[in-house]
């Protein structure tokens, strides 16, 4: 990989983007999931709330999603606008427009018989494995997005196509071959998921042959959808400034750090926002009682309701720790299991966990609930309502992620006055201020931050939280109120994205020069 180019602005320097009055741009927002229509993780939260915020603020933004059955059930007036033939897919690919009460902005849905009409998780079959034809499925999705981007499927033609994660990664690569194309922005929500497939799949997809190159999609003998975004988009961003810097280093670059350093003049970090309407302790429909920073009585009722719901004894004075997330090594739930004996040795501690994923981690959690039936409860599965109740009812939220591009749960915790304990990485480092004595005194503290993602590091932070709980309650209440004052709503970051769109429009990237042309 070539050495880094001189940087027009650094990876964390989104503040240097031009702040001219923003001209209205038309944005096509492309994602494989968007809450509340279809959700497996944080990407859905962002794809549901960022375009809606832009739309509510007057931008001409449309969202394109695959037409999964669960999505079709929630929309009205789905109308066929185009029937496309895309490479390597036998049947037609249909572009529908639709409206959804739960996600009020213009929607395009991509229907492709045999590809998206499967219930349940959008990427994984009932056997728990990735669908074997995911490359075909999301290549077809990308071709449909390209058709929309070029105005070939509908009369509306966007100025910017905003792609998200590997499922839309081919779009910037395919559009780079067009003379008259919209600007492209590619957001990396998690670099660990790359959409890697083999050479035979590349051939079967009938992608342009020159994309099989180290400067194109080729990736250590395979090819990766995500490289289409990283190598070809006009602008690339990740979901926090710290993660933008971290992925430029080998430890978290997953083999793409060289390319990201090379493109660092086009890489920025923009912190995700949260949907302040959906996640609002003062009006959350999933909660039995409401509260805000001026009156926390409702939080105590939520704690009791959470204990009852998960079969724990009502113990108003316990220190109730919570964790929600995909049970994968990234999230560090194994560290929580490691410190459990020490945590349970402290009087009055309880732990509740909500998540699903790795079978060994699920089994370890079930064992813990049997070992400490009155102190530990785990709900293995996915439950949106319970997630809200846990954010409200817990006292402390554990987020020991080994890496975390942005993380949403720590921001939900802040809003719900549930003090986060986080590893200093990615968006966790950018959103939580450690409760040092000075920060506690000046009111800037919002949680407990530890440096080393191991059980000692986690315990060090948890122990400090317990120590603060033992002090007169005014200290803890002061911390809770500081958490609740932090505003992580989308309004700030939506403005950063507008700047990013403008910058991408004004600064089209030249396609990387294929190796063959570089030789004398
Ligand atoms: P990631 O995208 O890596 O999964 P984030 O913290 O960015 O992590 O976002 C996770 C989102 O998914 C949050 O809204 C979280 O509440 C939700 N979530 C994760 N697991 C579950 C679960 N088992 N039940 C309900 N919500 C969940």
E strand or H helix at 379, and its extent? strand 376-380
pLDDT of residue 90: 85
Residue reference for tokens 């229509």 = 37
CA-closest residue to ligand 1 atom 20: 325
Q: What is the mean pLDDT of the chain?
A: 93
For residue range 350-408, list pLDDT tens digits in order: 999 999 999 999 999 999 999 999 999 999 999 999 999 999 999 999 999 999 999 99
Cβ(419)–Cβ(447) below 8 Å: yes
Q: Which amino acid residue places its CA nearest to atom 14 of ligand 1?
A: 42
Look at residue 326 and tell me whether its pLDDT is greater than 60.
yes
Which residue's C-alpha comes closest to atom 19 of ligand 1?
A: 325
Cis-peptide into 201, omega within 30 deg: no
Q: Which atom of ligand 1 is nearest to the CA of 354?
A: 23
Mean pLDDT, to the nearest integer, of 469-496? 95
Residue limits of CATH 3.40.50.2000 in the chain: 11-63+138-273+492-508, 297-488
- Find the 129 Cα to ligand 1 centroid distance in Å: 19
User: Counting atoms of ligand 1 from 1, which one is nearest the CA of 404?
Assistant: 3
With bands split at pLDDT 50, 70 and 90, how would you rate the model's confidence at 179? confident
The CB-based long-range contact list for 363-368 (8 Å cut-off, 24+ gap) reads: 364/334, 364/337, 365/327, 365/333, 365/337, 368/337, 368/340
Q: Is the pLDDT of residue 246 over 80?
A: yes
Q: Which residues pair with 196 in a beta bridge?
A: 224
How would CATH label the architecture of 297-488? Answer: 3-Layer(aba) Sandwich (3.40)
Q: Is the pLDDT of residue 6 over 90?
A: no
pTM: 0.91
Picking from 139, 132, 141, the residue whose alpha carbon sits closest to that of residue 203 is: 139
- Measure 150 CA to ligand 1 centroid, in angstroms: 34
Q: Residue 18 above 50 pLDDT?
A: no
CA 21 to ligand 1 centroid distance, Å: 36
Report which protein residue has its CA nearest ligand 1's atom 22.
382
pLDDT for 128: 85
Q: CA 457 to CA 30: how far, in whole Å?
A: 38
> What CATH class has 11-63+138-273+492-508?
alpha beta
- Ligand 1 binding pocket, CB closer than 6 Å: 41-42, 45, 190, 324-326, 354-356, 382-384, 387, 406-409
**pLDDT of the residue at 423:** 98
């Amino acid at each position: 990989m070539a050495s880094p180019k001189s940087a027009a602005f650094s990876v964390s320097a989104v503040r240097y983007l031009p702040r001219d009055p923003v001209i209205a741009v038309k944005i096509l927002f492309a994602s494989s999931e968007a809450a509340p229509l279809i959700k497996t993780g944080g990407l859905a939260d962002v794809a549901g709330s960022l375009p809606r915020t832009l739309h509510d603020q007057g931008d001409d933004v449309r969202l394109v999603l695959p037409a999964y059955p669960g999505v079709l059930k929630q929309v009205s007036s789905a109308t066929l606008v185009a029937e496309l033939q895309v490479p390597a897919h036998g049947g037609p690919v249909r572009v529908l427009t639709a409206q959804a009460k739960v996600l009020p902005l213009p929607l395009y849905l991509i229907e492709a018989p045999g590809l998206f009409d499967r219930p349940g998780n959008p990427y994984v079959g009932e056997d728990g494995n990735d669908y074997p034809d995911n490359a075909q499925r999301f290549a077809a999705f990308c071709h449909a997005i390209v058709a929309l981007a070029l105005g070939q499927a509908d009369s509306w033609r966007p100025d910017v196509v905003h792609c998200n994660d590997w499922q839309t990664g081919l779009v910037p690569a395919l559009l780079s071959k067009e003379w008259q194309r919209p600007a492209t922005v590619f957001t990396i929500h998690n670099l660990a998921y790359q959409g890697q497939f083999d050479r035979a799949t590349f051939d079967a997809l009938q992608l342009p042959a020159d994309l099989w190159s180290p400067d194109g999609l080729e990736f250590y003998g395979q090819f990766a959808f995500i490289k289409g975004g990283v190598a070809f988009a006009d602008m690339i961003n990740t979901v926090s400034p710290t993660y933008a810097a971290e992925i430029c280093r080998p430890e978290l670059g997953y083999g793409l750090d060289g390319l990201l350093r090379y493109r660092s003049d086009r890489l920025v970090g923009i912190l995700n926002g949260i949907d302040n309407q959906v996640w609002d302790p003062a009006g959350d429909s999933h909660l039995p009682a409401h509260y805000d920073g001026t009156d926390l009585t409702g939080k105590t009722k939520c704690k009791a309701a959470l204990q009852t719901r998960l079969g724990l004894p009502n113990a108003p004075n316990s220190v109730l720790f919570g964790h929600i997330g995909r049970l994968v090594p990234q999230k560090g739930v194994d560290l929580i299991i490691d410190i459990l004996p020490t945590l349970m040795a402290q009087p009055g501690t309880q732990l509740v966990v909500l998540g699903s994923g790795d079978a060994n981690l699920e089994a370890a959690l079930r064992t813990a609930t049997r070992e400490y039936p009155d102190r530990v409860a785990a709900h293995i599965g996915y439950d949106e309502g319970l997630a809200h109740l846990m954010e409200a009812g817990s006292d402390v939220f554990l987020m020991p992620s080994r890496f975390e591009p942005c993380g949403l749960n720590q921001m939900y915790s802040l809003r719900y006055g549930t003090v986060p304990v986080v590893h200093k990485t990615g968006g966790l480092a950018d959103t939580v201020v450690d409760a040092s004595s000075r920060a506690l005194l000046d009111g800037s503290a919002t949680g407990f931050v530890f440096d080393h993602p191991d059980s000692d590091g986690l315990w060090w932070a948890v122990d400090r939280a317990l120590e603060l709980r033992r002090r007169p309650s005014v200290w803890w209440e002061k911390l809770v109120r500081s958490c609740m004052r932090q505003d992580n709503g989308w309004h700030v970051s939506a403005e950063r994205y507008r700047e990013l769109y403008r910058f991408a429009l004004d600064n089209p990237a030249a396609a990387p020069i294929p190796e063959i042309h570089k030789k004398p």
